[in-house]
Amino acid sequence: MAEWVTLARPYANAAFNYADELNALGAWSQQLALAAAVAGTAKVRLVISSPSLTAEQQASTLIALCGSELSAHVGNFIRALAANKRLLLLPQITELFEQLKANRENSVDVEIASAFPLSDAVSNRLAQALRGKLQREVTIKTVVDKSLLGGVLVRSGDVVIDGSVRGRLEKLAKAMNS
Protein backbone atom coordinates (compact mmCIF):
# COMPACT_ATOMS: atom_id res chain seq x y z
CA MET A 1 0.00 0.00 0.00
CA ALA A 2 2.76 2.45 0.88
CA GLU A 3 4.24 2.06 -2.60
CA TRP A 4 1.18 3.27 -4.51
CA VAL A 5 0.70 6.10 -2.02
CA THR A 6 4.28 7.22 -2.61
CA LEU A 7 3.77 7.14 -6.37
CA ALA A 8 0.28 8.68 -6.39
CA ARG A 9 0.75 11.45 -3.82
CA PRO A 10 2.70 13.94 -5.99
CA TYR A 11 0.09 13.68 -8.75
CA ALA A 12 -2.80 14.05 -6.30
CA ASN A 13 -1.11 17.09 -4.75
CA ALA A 14 -0.48 18.64 -8.16
CA ALA A 15 -4.07 18.06 -9.28
CA PHE A 16 -5.42 19.41 -6.01
CA ASN A 17 -3.27 22.54 -6.08
CA TYR A 18 -4.14 23.26 -9.70
CA ALA A 19 -7.87 22.68 -9.15
CA ASP A 20 -7.72 24.85 -6.04
CA GLU A 21 -6.11 27.69 -8.01
CA LEU A 22 -8.96 27.44 -10.52
CA ASN A 23 -11.57 27.29 -7.71
CA ALA A 24 -12.71 24.06 -9.32
CA LEU A 25 -12.25 21.43 -6.61
CA GLY A 26 -15.79 20.12 -7.02
CA ALA A 27 -15.55 19.84 -10.81
CA TRP A 28 -12.15 18.17 -10.64
CA SER A 29 -13.44 15.80 -7.98
CA GLN A 30 -16.32 14.67 -10.19
CA GLN A 31 -14.17 14.37 -13.31
CA LEU A 32 -11.38 12.47 -11.58
CA ALA A 33 -13.95 10.12 -10.04
CA LEU A 34 -15.40 9.43 -13.49
CA ALA A 35 -11.97 8.86 -15.06
CA ALA A 36 -10.92 6.64 -12.14
CA ALA A 37 -14.10 4.56 -12.42
CA VAL A 38 -13.57 4.08 -16.14
CA ALA A 39 -9.85 3.35 -15.70
CA GLY A 40 -10.63 0.90 -12.91
CA THR A 41 -12.65 -1.48 -15.08
CA ALA A 42 -10.83 -4.64 -16.12
CA LYS A 43 -11.13 -4.15 -19.90
CA VAL A 44 -10.01 -0.53 -19.79
CA ARG A 45 -7.09 -1.40 -17.51
CA LEU A 46 -5.92 -3.87 -20.16
CA VAL A 47 -6.11 -1.24 -22.89
CA ILE A 48 -4.45 1.61 -20.98
CA SER A 49 -1.64 -0.63 -19.81
CA SER A 50 -1.01 -2.16 -23.23
CA PRO A 51 2.65 -1.82 -24.23
CA SER A 52 1.61 -1.81 -27.90
CA LEU A 53 -0.04 1.62 -27.45
CA THR A 54 1.80 4.89 -27.03
CA ALA A 55 1.16 7.02 -23.97
CA GLU A 56 -0.87 9.43 -26.12
CA GLN A 57 -3.02 6.57 -27.45
CA GLN A 58 -3.61 5.28 -23.93
CA ALA A 59 -4.61 8.72 -22.68
CA SER A 60 -6.77 9.44 -25.74
CA THR A 61 -8.58 6.13 -25.29
CA LEU A 62 -9.39 6.88 -21.66
CA ILE A 63 -10.43 10.45 -22.44
CA ALA A 64 -12.66 9.25 -25.29
CA LEU A 65 -14.32 6.67 -23.03
CA CYS A 66 -15.15 9.41 -20.51
CA GLY A 67 -16.82 11.43 -23.27
CA SER A 68 -17.44 15.14 -23.01
CA GLU A 69 -17.54 14.99 -19.21
CA LEU A 70 -13.83 15.81 -18.88
CA SER A 71 -12.51 19.35 -19.15
CA ALA A 72 -9.42 20.12 -21.19
CA HIS A 73 -7.46 20.58 -17.95
CA VAL A 74 -8.35 17.11 -16.65
CA GLY A 75 -7.61 15.69 -20.09
CA ASN A 76 -4.15 17.26 -19.94
CA PHE A 77 -3.66 15.79 -16.47
CA ILE A 78 -4.55 12.34 -17.81
CA ARG A 79 -2.07 12.83 -20.67
CA ALA A 80 0.64 13.72 -18.13
CA LEU A 81 -0.16 10.58 -16.15
CA ALA A 82 0.08 8.48 -19.31
CA ALA A 83 3.38 10.11 -20.34
CA ASN A 84 4.82 9.21 -16.92
CA LYS A 85 3.35 5.68 -16.95
CA ARG A 86 1.09 6.45 -14.00
CA LEU A 87 -2.31 6.08 -15.67
CA LEU A 88 -3.11 2.93 -13.70
CA LEU A 89 -2.73 4.96 -10.48
CA LEU A 90 -5.74 7.13 -11.35
CA PRO A 91 -8.07 5.47 -8.77
CA GLN A 92 -5.49 5.98 -6.02
CA ILE A 93 -4.74 9.55 -7.13
CA THR A 94 -8.47 10.26 -6.99
CA GLU A 95 -8.69 8.81 -3.49
CA LEU A 96 -5.84 11.02 -2.27
CA PHE A 97 -7.37 14.04 -4.05
CA GLU A 98 -10.63 13.42 -2.17
CA GLN A 99 -8.75 13.28 1.14
CA LEU A 100 -7.09 16.61 0.40
CA LYS A 101 -10.44 18.10 -0.60
CA ALA A 102 -12.11 16.84 2.59
CA ASN A 103 -9.30 18.32 4.69
CA ARG A 104 -9.67 21.67 2.94
CA GLU A 105 -13.44 21.65 3.40
CA ASN A 106 -13.07 20.46 7.00
CA SER A 107 -15.44 17.59 6.30
CA VAL A 108 -15.34 13.85 6.71
CA ASP A 109 -17.32 10.90 5.41
CA VAL A 110 -18.44 8.50 8.11
CA GLU A 111 -19.86 5.02 7.69
CA ILE A 112 -22.11 3.78 10.46
CA ALA A 113 -22.85 0.06 10.50
CA SER A 114 -25.68 -1.18 12.67
CA ALA A 115 -27.56 -4.43 13.11
CA PHE A 116 -30.82 -2.74 12.14
CA PRO A 117 -31.75 0.26 9.98
CA LEU A 118 -31.29 3.54 11.87
CA SER A 119 -34.05 6.11 12.05
CA ASP A 120 -33.36 9.64 10.80
CA ALA A 121 -33.50 10.95 14.37
CA VAL A 122 -30.83 8.50 15.56
CA SER A 123 -28.66 9.21 12.50
CA ASN A 124 -28.91 12.95 13.15
CA ARG A 125 -27.96 12.54 16.83
CA LEU A 126 -24.97 10.39 15.86
CA ALA A 127 -23.91 12.96 13.24
CA GLN A 128 -24.13 15.75 15.80
CA ALA A 129 -22.07 13.76 18.33
CA LEU A 130 -19.47 12.93 15.68
CA ARG A 131 -19.25 16.58 14.59
CA GLY A 132 -18.25 17.44 18.15
CA LYS A 133 -15.79 14.57 18.48
CA LEU A 134 -14.13 14.94 15.06
CA GLN A 135 -14.38 18.75 14.85
CA ARG A 136 -15.51 18.47 11.23
CA GLU A 137 -18.63 18.57 9.13
CA VAL A 138 -19.88 14.98 8.92
CA THR A 139 -21.52 13.17 6.01
CA ILE A 140 -23.05 9.90 7.17
CA LYS A 141 -23.60 6.72 5.21
CA THR A 142 -25.46 3.99 7.06
CA VAL A 143 -25.25 0.28 6.34
CA VAL A 144 -26.92 -2.71 7.96
CA ASP A 145 -24.62 -5.47 9.24
CA LYS A 146 -26.62 -8.27 10.89
CA SER A 147 -23.43 -9.77 12.38
CA LEU A 148 -23.17 -6.86 14.85
CA LEU A 149 -26.13 -8.14 16.94
CA GLY A 150 -26.73 -4.60 18.25
CA GLY A 151 -25.07 -1.23 18.73
CA VAL A 152 -23.08 0.55 16.02
CA LEU A 153 -19.66 0.45 14.39
CA VAL A 154 -18.42 3.86 13.20
CA ARG A 155 -15.67 4.16 10.57
CA SER A 156 -14.07 7.36 9.36
CA GLY A 157 -10.80 6.85 7.54
CA ASP A 158 -8.43 5.26 10.05
CA VAL A 159 -10.70 6.00 13.03
CA VAL A 160 -12.96 3.14 14.15
CA ILE A 161 -15.33 3.43 17.07
CA ASP A 162 -16.71 0.02 17.98
CA GLY A 163 -19.88 0.37 20.01
CA SER A 164 -21.31 -2.91 18.76
CA VAL A 165 -22.45 -5.80 20.92
CA ARG A 166 -20.18 -8.11 18.90
CA GLY A 167 -17.18 -5.84 19.65
CA ARG A 168 -17.99 -5.74 23.35
CA LEU A 169 -18.35 -9.54 23.48
CA GLU A 170 -14.98 -9.95 21.74
CA LYS A 171 -13.33 -7.61 24.28
CA LEU A 172 -14.93 -9.54 27.13
CA ALA A 173 -13.72 -12.86 25.70
CA LYS A 174 -10.17 -11.53 25.38
CA ALA A 175 -10.25 -10.25 28.94
CA MET A 176 -11.50 -13.58 30.24
CA ASN A 177 -8.86 -15.53 28.30
CA SER A 178 -5.93 -13.42 29.48
Same domain assignment for residues 98 and 157? no
Structural domain count of the chain = 2
Whole-number percent of the chain with pLDDT over 90: 48
Inform me whether the pLDDT recorded for 1 exceeds 70: no
Inform me whether the pLDDT recorded for 175 exceeds 90: no
Domain boundary among 103, 121, 148: 103
Higher pLDDT, 59 or 107: 59
Same domain assignment for residues 111 and 98? no
Same domain assignment for residues 94 and 6? yes
* Model confidence pLDDT, tens digit, residues 82-129: 999 999 999 999 999 998 998 887 877 888 888 888 888 888 888 888
pLDDT-derived band at 131 (thresholds 50, 70, 90) equals confident
Mean predicted confidence (pLDDT) in 44-49: 90
Same domain assignment for residues 94 and 118? no
Give me the pLDDT at residue 2, please. 55
Q: Is 53 helix (H, G, I), strand (E, B) or coil?
A: coil
Bridging pattern class, strands 159-164 and 151-156: antiparallel
Same domain assignment for residues 60 and 119? no
- The residue range of the domain holding 128 is 107-177
Q: What is the pTM assigned to this prediction?
A: 0.67
pLDDT-derived band at 80 (thresholds 50, 70, 90) equals very high
Mean predicted confidence (pLDDT) in 130-159: 81
Same domain assignment for residues 112 and 78? no
Nearest by Cα to 148 from 140, 159, 134, 160: 160
Distance between CA atoms of residues 73 and 163, nearest Å: 45
Mean predicted confidence (pLDDT) in 125-139: 83
Same domain assignment for residues 130 and 98? no
Same domain assignment for residues 78 and 135? no
